[in-house]
Structure 1
Amino acid sequence: MAQSGSREIMYVGTYSVRSSEGIYVFSFDRQTGTMQPVQSVSNTKSPSFLALHPSGQFLYSVNEAADAGPTGAVSSYQVDRATGKLTYVNSQSSLGKGPCHISIDQTGKTAFVSNYGGGSLAVLPIKADGTLGAPTDSVQNAGTGPDPKRQEKAHVHSATIAPDNRFVYVADLGTDKLHIFAPDLKAGTVKPAQTPFVTVKPGSGPRHFTFHPNGRYAYLVEEMISSVAVFSRDAKTGALTLIQDGIPTLPQGFSGNNTSADIHIDPSGKFLYQSNRGANTLAIFSIGADGKLTKVADQPVEGKTPRNFLIDPKGDFVFVANQDTDNITIFRRDRQTGKMTYTGQSVSVPAPVCVIMARQ
């Protein structure tokens, strides 16, 4: 990982509005809890969601903007390991409109891209030099949900790779399904797993998905009803069993409009966090030995419309990307209680969507 002393490198993806330049690079000083700008990388196509290559040598962004062409695109960048700075490498089609999420398998050879507007998943090979190859496979979802405005068709929102690298879980907001695929990483293809999908509450709107560090449990953002679903997982087949559903993430008494967005578990596996856009909070849950959740607290994010957020790899800090107040707010986290304290530090970034930290 690029670092100098206690400084660590962070990357922020944005929407191309309010004079955003594209991708922003920061250094983070763990001792002082502050972020300092390093570089801004020009990209006018809304490089919203980012992913780092396992080697730390490359970074990838989706280009979500509707005017990016008949389909969206994905871009690769080389990382200067000494400074963290990025250099553009190449781009490829995502084979669908509105790509909103990208993940890289643990071997670093394959990228999985979710096209929200197109309702599809694209599989792209990654070459040894970090460049993206043309897509080698795609899956077009079909179907609807009960909400005619948000669920008029399939809307693939994320593709999350299992800890064992054997399965990919694809959340479809439009059809209330979580699809399970078995990838062939050598061929760059995917096929439905033995249990091809699991269905959640109608109208819930699956969005982002995460695994417990032990791999036995998994958690799904139900965006449209501001809740979280909990699953147990069969490691052999990849199948999911719903064990908790519709767990509210909103503060008690909140009655305004809200959609949930991102979800993460702390490194110890003791606490889960989910962002709420509208309530402008992170819901904090403790995780039991059986994987089930218990509400701990609601943390105001000191901004509006928190999309993605980052729990740093050591579990000490939380960084929240507040899209509509153009800032990233920094919190210290208590490892024992899971609760957060605002540090007073806020970094200006236009329309931040995704924040990630280079691996140590």
Structure 2
Amino acid sequence: MSAENPTEPLVFVASYNKFENLAHTPDGTVSAHSLYVYRLDTQTGQLVLLTVLDGFENPAFLRYHPQLNVLYFCTESIADDGDIVACKVNARTGALSVLGKWSAHGKSTCYLTIDTDLKHMLAVNYWDSTLSVLPMETSGALSPVSFKLVPDRKVVASSRSDHLTNRQLEPHNHAIVLDPYNGTVAYVPDLGTDVIKQFVFDKGTGSLIHAGQFQSGSDELKPHGPRYLQFHPKLPVAYVVNELSSTVAVFSFNIEQAARIAEEPEKPTLTLLQTISTIPSAFPRHLNTCGRITVTNAGTFVVVSNRGHNSISTYRVNDDGTLCSADYFHTRGRTPRHFQFDSTGNWLLVANQDTDSVSVFSFDRKHGTLNFAGHTYDVPSPNFVCVQMPYHEAQ
């Protein structure tokens, strides 16, 4: 494979390069670089390292612009406000050119969302549980924070050890996801208070108004610790991965209620249908926490990573969006913090944070099974994988 082939996907891997200011305690190796950029061969699943990016502390979430070759990442620190960085991506070489960086106005920034009109970047700050909104320019550059939402309950943890002991006693937002129908309902899993918060998002002003909250799973196995939320691509169904209870909660989405959210803001737009385990029933739950969740492009499988059980769980999706029992596949490493499919759905790349590796698996889209492709790449403390086919650029 030619490394400079813009018709093949680019793979961006973020790594932790400073441990002492994180909210958690990685067991891998401190990285010498911030980001690693690879080219993926979609015929073989092999990666070729193209370049690295230095100079940024603990990039911890990546988001690619829906129309431009611009990569965004945020920095994670409990000691300082995070930054959101935008980089122009060279589709042929993979080189990154920094367009700018903007403060997220909160600590331990952990999640980025671009609204449906491509006018705002929404950011989540885990440590102090604040939500920030930054206007987006047509070039892909951002403007300073125009809206910030501070939680009603103050975060009081003063250190990492204090946080790890008491994090369920205070709010800790972990993600923000807009509904895929109107883009006006924002969902925020709050790992600390064990609920999904619901907000009205004004696409014109970029403001957020609180509109109630609801439990992130059934009463059993609490605390759940909701981490991420993902909508089904075809059904009015959403899936929440609960980090602490090692479960997936399945919700039906009320399209009509969501359209009336501004008039009836306190009515939940999601209703719980099912709570299902991500690990075998006999495996001790205290030895596992969940990482990422996604739905395959065809909507036939839901996929989750288990940190501790060190596995990927795959569920077949029923006609009503509920899930069948899981199959499990070892990730060839410890603590699979994140994973990503390529656009074909044939390849799954897993970031094994605590064994300093990225592993490549082939995915059987009919049966939902993973097979190790035989490719493992040395990447210190990887925490996020972004696989993106670059956009064609006129010469």
TM-score, scaled to structure 2: 0.85
Distance 1:3 1:184, change over 3 A: farther
Q: Percent identity?
A: 32
* Structure 2 residue aligned with 1:236: 256
* Structure 1 residue aligned with 2:367: 337
CA deviation string 1:232-285 (max 9, x = no partner):
00123331001112x111134323611111101111101111111000001111
Distance 1:304 1:58, change over 3 A: same
**Contact 1:52/1:104 (8 A) holds in 2:** no
1:250 aligns with 2:288: no
* Structure 1 residue aligned with 2:203: 185
Deviation at 1:30, TM superposition (A): 0.6
* Structure 1 residue aligned with 2:188: 170
Deviation at 1:126, TM superposition (A): 1.2
**Contact 1:74/1:91 (8 A) holds in 2:** yes
1:302 aligns with 2:319: no
CA deviation string 1:71-106 (max 9, x = no partner):
222111112233332111111111111111112123
- Aligned equivalent of 1:77, options 83, 87, 93: 87
* Structure 2 residue aligned with 1:314: 344
Q: SS of the residue aligned with 1:93?
A: strand
Alpha carbon RMSD of aligned pairs, Å?
Answer: 2.0
1:150 aligns with 2:167: yes
1:55 aligns with 2:67: yes
Matched letter for residue 230 of structure 1:
V
Distance 1:186 1:323, change over 3 A: same
**Contact 2:216/2:240 (8 A) holds in 1:** no
CA distance in 1: counterparts of 2:65 and 2:136, whole angstroms: 9
Distance 1:20 1:232, change over 3 A: farther
1:350 aligns with 2:380: yes
Q: Which consecutive residues of structure 2, in runs of 5 or more, have no partner in the other structure?
A: 19-29, 156-163, 259-268, 391-395
1:26 aligns with 2:38: yes
The 5-angstrom pairing of residues 80-119 of structure 1 reads: 80-119=90-129
* Structure 2 residue aligned with 1:200: 216
* Structure 1 residue aligned with 2:298: 268
- Aligned equivalent of 2:240, options 217, 220, 229: 220
Deviation at 1:129, TM superposition (A): 2.0
Q: SS of the residue aligned with 2:139?
A: coil
Q: SS of the residue aligned with 2:354?
A: helix
**Contact 2:342/2:388 (8 A) holds in 1:** no
CA distance in 2: counterparts of 1:215 and 1:179, whole angstroms: 21
Q: SS of the residue aligned with 1:25?
A: strand
Distance 1:37 1:335, change over 3 A: same
1:37 aligns with 2:49: yes
Deviation at 1:167, TM superposition (A): 2.2
* Structure 1 residue aligned with 2:8: 7
Deviation at 1:168, TM superposition (A): 1.9
Q: SS of the residue aligned with 1:151?
A: helix
**Contact 1:119/1:153 (8 A) holds in 2:** no
Q: SS of the residue aligned with 1:135?
A: coil
Deviation at 1:286, TM superposition (A): 0.8
Deviation at 1:141, TM superposition (A): 2.2
Deviation at 1:359, TM superposition (A): 4.0
Deviation at 1:144, TM superposition (A): 9.3
CA distance in 1: counterparts of 2:347 and 2:15, whole angstroms: 21
CA distance in 2: counterparts of 1:344 and 1:251, whole angstroms: 26
CA distance in 2: counterparts of 1:142 and 1:330, whole angstroms: 43
CA distance in 1: counterparts of 2:254 and 2:70, whole angstroms: 32
Deviation at 1:288, TM superposition (A): 0.4
Q: Which consecutive residues of structure 1, in runs of 5 or more, have no partner in the other structure?
A: none
CA deviation string 1:156-210 (max 9, x = no partner):
10111222223221111011111122222221212234xx322234411110110
**Contact 1:162/1:168 (8 A) holds in 2:** yes
Q: SS of the residue aligned with 1:236?
A: helix
Deviation at 1:152, TM superposition (A): 2.4
**Contact 1:6/1:30 (8 A) holds in 2:** no
CA distance in 2: counterparts of 1:211 and 1:352, whole angstroms: 25
CA distance in 2: counterparts of 1:171 and 1:20, whole angstroms: 32
Q: SS of the residue aligned with 2:304?
A: strand
CA distance in 2: counterparts of 1:84 and 1:107, whole angstroms: 27
Deviation at 1:217, TM superposition (A): 0.3
Stretch of structure 1 that moved more, 159-168 or 84-93: 159-168
Larger RCO: 1 or 2 (CA < 8 Å, sep 6+): 2
**Contact 2:303/2:312 (8 A) holds in 1:** yes
Q: SS of the residue aligned with 2:60?
A: coil
Deviation at 1:3, TM superposition (A): 7.2
Would you say how many aligned residue pairs link Structure 1 and Structure 2?
A: 353
CA distance in 2: counterparts of 1:110 and 1:300, whole angstroms: 38
**Contact 1:172/1:206 (8 A) holds in 2:** yes
TM-score, scaled to structure 1: 0.92
Matched letter for residue 171 of structure 1:
P
Q: Going by fraction, where is strand more abundant, 1 or 2?
A: 1
Flag the structure with larger Rg: 2
